[in-house]
Amino acid sequence: MKKAYQLVFALLIMGLLFNCSDYKSVQKDASKKDRNMFGHYIPRGLTINTEDLSPGYVMFSAQNSPSTYLIDRNGKVVHEWKGNYGAFNPYLMNDGAIVQGVNDPDYPVFGFGGPYGRIQKLTWESKMLWDFEYADEEQIVHHDFAILPNGNILAIAYETWSYEDAVENGRKSHLIPRSGPWMEKIIEIEPQFPSGGKIVWEWHVSDHLIQDNDETKSNFGNPSEHAELMDFNLGDSIPLAITQDSLDILKSLGRGGRNLTLDNPKSDIYHFNAINYNPELDQIVFSSPKLGEIFIIDHSTTTEEAAKHEGGKSDRGGDFLYRWGNPQNYHQGDSTDQKLFGQHDIRWIEKGKPGAGDLTVFNNDVPNGPDSLDYSAIYQITPPINGNGNYDQKDNDAYGPDAAHWKYIASDTLSFYGSYISGAHRMQNGNTFINEGPKGRFFEVNPEGGILWQYLSPFRGTIHKPNGDPVNAKQATYSLFRVTFIPADHPALLGKELKPLDSQPAEFKLPPLTDTADKES
């Protein structure tokens, strides 16, 4: 009886324990009966293929697999890169190599909120060129990275803080996990082949905090007067305490992440999940879905200047040059002014593509009123950049624009919804390529919102946990963090023989439906 009670209790607080705000949305959506967010038991593979498409290919890493695939417009795999760990988020280089994040099998301390710990480079033939590990008790790379024109890599990383550090810097005690928060930083890595890397630049959010909680602590001030700084009392609060027995039940159910303890739930207070670089501006944009906001900082600073409030081309040091999505975070506006909800994959539209200089973002979990289901949208926004590379605030001290320049939303809203991961980017022809991540669905839309091409990945690998246990295929059976359209004239593809592999990778099949719960998932 005691165990049964603990199980019920554990299930009730499971949503609170999950550090990733994305997963809270997953749990919320999994209970709804009238949409299939994970794409279970629906046709997969190529489902829409119209005429006169731009020639090209699509690159993605299969779920729970070391394989990254390149498929043609007919949905056939024409190339496979295969590494040694679970792969995700590949970037194609001009020589045919890929640089990708991979899941380190034994990183300590962290274990939820998107950490992976390694970045690797594989040749076209899958030879390992570079293996960089950044995962120890104090820091770990997580989620996304960006490759600079010089070959260096900008990566998002967690860094641990103690409970005492957080208190001293003015965070409210009820917002601090007992083990302390995981703060965010951005590091620039100069690869050292064949392994290792030199950190040549870094930026820490901890150098740009403000708080109005305690005037006796560091960073005291008025957040409404300092949009260039991060309010240290934003972000997740800690959940209700649970017992070790309840934690053990969660872990036995495969929930909560490999390193979840009684002391660290909700340590991932800001959860940066995407990063992109603009070489013309020498600026960095990154995303915090927990705050519903994107931020731009100056990369032209030295590391020393990045820790201060002046220096670099902007003469703003490492302070925020721009932020958008939720002005409540700097005490401007109200809930009606929030534009972003759990967003992913912020990036600039590249030079030479329609809309160049604007930003695109996958807005994951847009509210649709109390009587309707939330939906996803793709936004294109035009930042208010001025001639000197800085950004103008509106008269009420919030940043514009007031609305997206362009957006994609499914006409019925129901059919396009992914509450976590996912992404989108602009194509050379002006269309937009979208990855509805939880479903493993990717598709191309024209500016009018018409779907011209659609494919649902049928692939899932067989990687096991470090102890040998299998990884549960439900719910996120086919989910994909990032998917990229590769134009046919990409330098990496020149001279390559790109025809369907004689032996196509095996498709993953879910077991037959057995009960009502399966049928409703």
pLDDT tens digit sequence for 350-403: 999 999 999 999 999 999 988 899 999 999 999 999 988 999 998 778 999 999
Name the band, by pLDDT with cuts 50, 70 and 90, for residue 34: low
**Quick one: which of 144, 134, 136 has its CA closest to 160?**
136
Quote the pLDDT of residue 508: 97
Residue 236 has pLDDT above 80, yes or no: no
277-301 tens-digit pLDDT:
999 999 999 999 999 999 999 999 9
| Residue 308 DSSP code | S
The pLDDT tens digits of the residues spanning 477-489 come to: 999 999 999 999 9
- For tokens 């919030």, name the residue: 398
* Banded pLDDT at 408 (limits 50, 70, 90): very high
Closest CA to 20 of 417, 248, 342: 342
Kindly tell me if the per-residue pLDDT of 257 is higher than 80.
no
What is the distance in angstroms between the CA of the first residue and the CA of the last residue of the chain?
A: 29
Confidence of residue 25 (pLDDT cuts 50, 70, 90): very low
CA–CA distance, 16 with 19 (Å, rounded to integer): 8
Q: Is the pLDDT of residue 23 over 70?
A: no
Per-residue pLDDT, averaged over 464-490, amounts to: 92
For residue 297, give the DSSP letter: E
CA-wise closest residue to 38 among 53, 26, 49: 26
- Every domain of the chain and the residues it spans: 2-519
**If residue 26 lies in a helix (H) or strand (E), which one and from where to where?**
helix 21-30
Which tens digits make up the pLDDT trace of 40-59?
A: 999 999 999 999 999 999 99
Q: Which two tokens stand for residue 103?
A: 């899941």
How far is CA 428 from each of CA 54, 348, 354, rounded to the nearest angstrom? Answer: 9, 13, 7
Domain 2-519: CATH superfamily, name plus number: TolB, C-terminal domain (2.120.10.30)
pLDDT attached to residue 320 = 98
**Mean pLDDT throughout 5-18?**
35
